[in-house]
Amino acid sequence: MASTKKRIKLGFHSGTGQYRKFIKGKMLYFGSDEKTALARYSFFLETGLVFKPGYRQFCRVNNGRIIPVGRTFEEARRYLPTAEQPNPDVQVAEQQPIKIHFVRDVGDAYCEWLHLHNKSPRSIDDTVRAFQAIIKFSGCGDIPIDKVDKAYFLRWRNHCHLTIDRGERQPTWANKRLAFVRAAFSRCHKEGWITIPGMRDMLDALEKKGGAPTEKTLFEPDELRAAIDAADLWLKTAIMLAINAGLGNSDIGEAQWKFVTTKRIGKQVETRFVMPRGKTWDRRRTPLWPETVKLLDKWRKELKKAGLPNGDEDFIWITRYGTPIVYAKSHGGGPVTIRDNLQPAFASLLKAIGIHKSGLTFYSIRHSGSTWAADYGEEDAAVKEGTQLYLGNAPGEVWKNYSHGVPPSLRRTINVIHRALFES
């Protein structure tokens, strides 16, 4: 019995919202519903046939060629006895192309193409997110492919650009989605899966938001001080921890009280924020300023007074529903929804105190800190290394040299940022 359970075990990939398994050097996806995915996987183990979402059929692969064999288990099973020479009575559309009727189908077909050609799984994830975003933008659900025109793409592009101009998103957020929607439609058109006149001209509307982040996307020290002074306690604490430890939105959402630790150094006790960086999983150890420690203590007392979770395993900031303030959630094994309740509150704060710089977001705080370190560090070589540690971008070998302590370069950088914020 134990071996059977192990045999049908599948992993769930939150990026695509699908159950999957790595088999013979390839990642195979079996769908977003658990029961359906297990049934398809068991069928695959029995027959070698895989359900391809782009074809909406079970398929076999013959010398790199995908051959659809049936939409249901029964239809596909009928094909098995005569796999090499199909029975004419069994309607098998060997030459049947991918059928695309809606915008969502374009994304599915492109993901299938990426998977077949052994492209990066990250590209599949980005395609899924891009099509989730464009379908949500449509407002009325999925759009029939024959309703897609240049005006549709222009509205989508303008929407993406506007989110950047309002400071709600970084340019990379919009540009990735524009690029993957464009690539998907272009590939489907090239393969002959869709035939829309003037497709190339239509896709030209999906131009990226030009220009790299400029000085306008950064805070001046006096501006961030003004935001800290005007913010409510919870947001004030989040801002201080972000500038102190170089944290972004997701870091704030994932921060737990157990990451706030103390370390005795001689006769003094130092408070540190110890958290693995999401991209590299290197465990950063950032010394916290007295101002940050005081705010964290005050915020924890407020949570305790209100009867809200504040244990070591609890998140530091939660919504009224008890979820992290920034989080990703999968709905029943389906699409992943990313909710950021931090940025809207921060944007409202900036508006209230009269800061209207284009592209200025909560994520700009960490970049502002690294820029201040460079500006106020006066070409200090230690600060240059410390800045990479501050951002969580330094190689893991650097941390290994200080397995239990704080690198002097990081401590130097933190001190420079503190001086810029409070003394400039």
Predicted pLDDT of residue 315? 93
The tally of domains found in the chain comes to 3
**Contact assessment for residue 81 and residue 92, using Cβ atoms and an 8 Å cutoff:** no
Of 91-95, 289-293, 370-374, 399-403, the range with the highest mean pLDDT is 289-293
Tell me which residue range forms the domain holding 235.
Answer: 216-423
- 354 and 277 part of one domain: yes
Residue with tokens 């992993």: 11
- Report the mean per-residue pLDDT for the chain: 79
330 dihedral zone (left: phi>0; alpha: psi -120 to 50; beta): beta
Residue 259 DSSP SS3: helix
- 69 and 111 part of one domain: no
Q: What single letter denotes the amino acid at residue 156?
A: W
Q: What single letter denotes the amino acid at residue 82?
A: T
* In the chain, % of residues over pLDDT 70: 78
Q: Supply the CATH number for residue 387's domain.
A: 1.10.443.10
- 195 and 232 part of one domain: no
- 274 and 364 part of one domain: yes
203, 231, 263 - which closes a domain:
203
Please, what's the b/e burial string for 22-42 (b: 16 or more CB within 10 A of its CB; e: otherwise)? eeeeeebbbbbeeeebbbbbe
Predicted pLDDT of residue 328? 59
182, 203, 224 - which closes a domain:
203
- 240 and 182 part of one domain: no
The H or E element spanning position 270 is strand 268-276
- 273 and 398 part of one domain: yes
- 182 and 229 part of one domain: no
Q: What single letter denotes the amino acid at residue 225?
A: R
Predicted pLDDT of residue 3? 38
**Contact assessment for residue 142 and residue 132, using Cβ atoms and an 8 Å cutoff:** no
- 190 and 242 part of one domain: no
Is 91 within a domain? no
Is 87 within a domain? no
Q: Supply the CATH number for residue 198's domain.
A: 1.10.150
- 284 and 403 part of one domain: yes
- 177 and 279 part of one domain: no
DSSP-derived pairing of the beta strands 26-31 and 18-23: antiparallel
Predicted pLDDT of residue 329? 54
Is 22 within a domain? yes
Contacts of 317 (CB under 8 A, 6+ apart): 234, 238, 252, 253, 255, 324, 325, 342
Cα distance between residue 421 and residue 236, in whole Å: 14
- 73 and 150 part of one domain: no
Question: What is the DSSP code (8-state) at residue 315?
Answer: B
Task: Extract the tokens encoding 137.
Answer: 């933008």
Strand ordering across the sheet containing 57-62: 50-52, 57-62, 65-70
- 148 and 257 part of one domain: no
